[in-house]
């Protein structure tokens, strides 16, 4: 660039000389004075231009080096795995997170080929994604499980090759799964509570009358047969009253259910576990 600048400057500054020559100047002293003046101007212009050119070039080079250093420090500080490599899959940069995932150190992977460093390269989605990005020139995003961890992976095309950013979403997926399970249980509990409210309305109301009638019948029979031995009818009425009270307590347990738990019933069938709630009500 500097050579081009000097040649252009010389051509511009020499224009008056060529003009004088073409005009066949007869005044020789004037001709040499013009040549001298033009030479001084050319030297001054070239000197100042060269100094400015070198100065600007130096500043730009320093800025580029600073930006490159900043970007490297930024990529190194990222906790998620980052790796850059050429089209020939030669690694040019890898941060500590990616090197740790590959069970190596960042300084030991630069200059090596990605298939030689990454276990199971032939069967990874990255191998297919690299070909796709190089062919379409568009970035690629996919999710993958690698050595028991879940990652969201982005792959971009760069001037030097490709750069990969992998976001470890294992914990986030676990939390999301737990939240989904908690939401499912909450919805299940709400459905049971709605069912319990319906049962309480449709069963408890007639059941209360039935229990009151049984209690009254037993009291009348005990009063009429005071001192006599309890007969079979009294025992049957007592069992009916006991079972009615059990139904009443089961409905109350359903209404006050705060946690959905199941227990085996018959075969693979499960039923709601109300034993603790029934005990507290009794």
Q: Which residues pair with 161 in a beta bridge?
A: 86
Q: How far apart are CA 74 and CA 61, in angstroms?
A: 20
CA atoms within 13 A on the CB side of 140: 22
Provide the pLDDT confidence category of residue 234 given band limits of 50, 70 and 90.
confident
pTM for this model (two decimals)? 0.50
Q: Which residue has the tokens 């089961």?
A: 250
Predicted confidence (pLDDT) at residue 82 exceeds the cutoff of 60: yes
Mean pLDDT of the chain: 77
Q: Looking at domain 79-168, which CATH architecture does it have?
A: 2-Layer Sandwich (3.30)
Name residues whose C-beta falls within 8 Å of residue 160's C-beta, 6 or more positions apart in sequence. Answer: 84, 86, 92
Q: Report which listed range, 145-159, 215-229, 231-245, is most confident.
A: 145-159
- What is the torsional sign of CA 50, 56, 60, 62? positive
Q: Which residue has the tokens 């690694």?
A: 91
- Reading the block at residue 204, the tokens are 């408890």
User: According to the model, what pLDDT value does residue 154 have?
Assistant: 92
In the chain, domain spans = 2-75, 79-168, 187-281
DSSP characters for 49-97?
HHHHHHHHHHHHHHHHHHHHHHHHHHHHH-SS-EEEEETT-BEEEE-HH
Q: What is the mean pLDDT of residues 46-55?
A: 72
Q: How far apart are CA 39 and CA 45, in angstroms?
A: 10
Contact 261, 273 (CB under 8 A): yes
Rg over alpha carbons for the chain, rounded to the nearest Å, is 45
Give the H or E element holding residue 126: helix 125-136
DSSP characters for 165-177?
EEEE-HHHHHHHH
**260 against 36, higher pLDDT:** 260
Q: Report which listed range, 19-23, 35-39, 237-241, is most confident.
A: 237-241
Which strands sit side by side in the sheet containing 91-94, from one edge to the other? Answer: 91-94, 82-86, 161-168, 149-157, 140-146
**114 against 234, higher pLDDT:** 114
Predicted confidence (pLDDT) at residue 27 exceeds the cutoff of 60: no
Task: Extract the runs of DSSP E, i.e. beta strands, from the chain.
Answer: 82-86, 91-94, 140-146, 149-157, 161-168, 262-264, 270-272
Q: What is the mean pLDDT of residues 116-135?
A: 87
User: According to the model, what pLDDT value does residue 12 have?
Assistant: 56
Provide the pLDDT confidence category of residue 268 given band limits of 50, 70 and 90.
confident
Q: Report which listed range, 5-14, 35-44, 104-113, 204-213, is most confident.
A: 104-113
């Amino acid at each position: 660039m500097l050579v081009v600048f000097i040649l252009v400057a010389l051509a511009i500054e020499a224009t008056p000389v060529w003009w004088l020559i073409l005009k066949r100047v007869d005044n020789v002293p004037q001709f040499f004075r013009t040549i001298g003046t033009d030479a001084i101007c050319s030297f001054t212009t070239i000197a100042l231009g060269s100094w400015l050119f070198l100065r600007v070039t130096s500043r730009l080079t320093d800025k580029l080096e600073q930006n490159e250093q900043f970007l490297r420090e930024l990529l190194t500080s990222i906790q998620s795995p980052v790796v850059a490599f050429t089209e020939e899959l030669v690694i040019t940069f890898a941060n500590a997170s990616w090197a740790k995932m590959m069970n190596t150190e960042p300084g030991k992977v630069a200059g090596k080929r990605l298939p030689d460093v990454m276990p199971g390269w032939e069967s990874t989605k990255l191998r297919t994604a690299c070909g796709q990005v190089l062919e379409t020139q568009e970035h690629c995003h996919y999710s993958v499980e690698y050595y028991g961890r879940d990652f969201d992976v982005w792959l971009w095309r760069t001037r030097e090759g490709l750069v990969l950013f992998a976001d470890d979403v294992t914990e986030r997926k676990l939390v999301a799964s737990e939240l989904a399970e908690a939401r499912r249980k909450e919805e299940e509990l709400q459905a049971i509570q709605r069912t319990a409210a319906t049962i309480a309305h449709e069963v408890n109301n007639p059941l209360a009358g039935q229990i009151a009638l049984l209690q009254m019948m037993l009291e009348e029979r005990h009063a009429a047969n005071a001192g006599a031995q309890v007969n079979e009818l009294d025992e049957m009425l007592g069992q009916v009253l006991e079972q009615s009270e059990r139904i009443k307590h089961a409905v109350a347990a359903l209404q006050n259910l705060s946690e959905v738990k199941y227990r085996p019933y018959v075969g693979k069938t499960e039923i709601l576990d109300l034993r603790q709630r029934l005990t507290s009500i009794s």
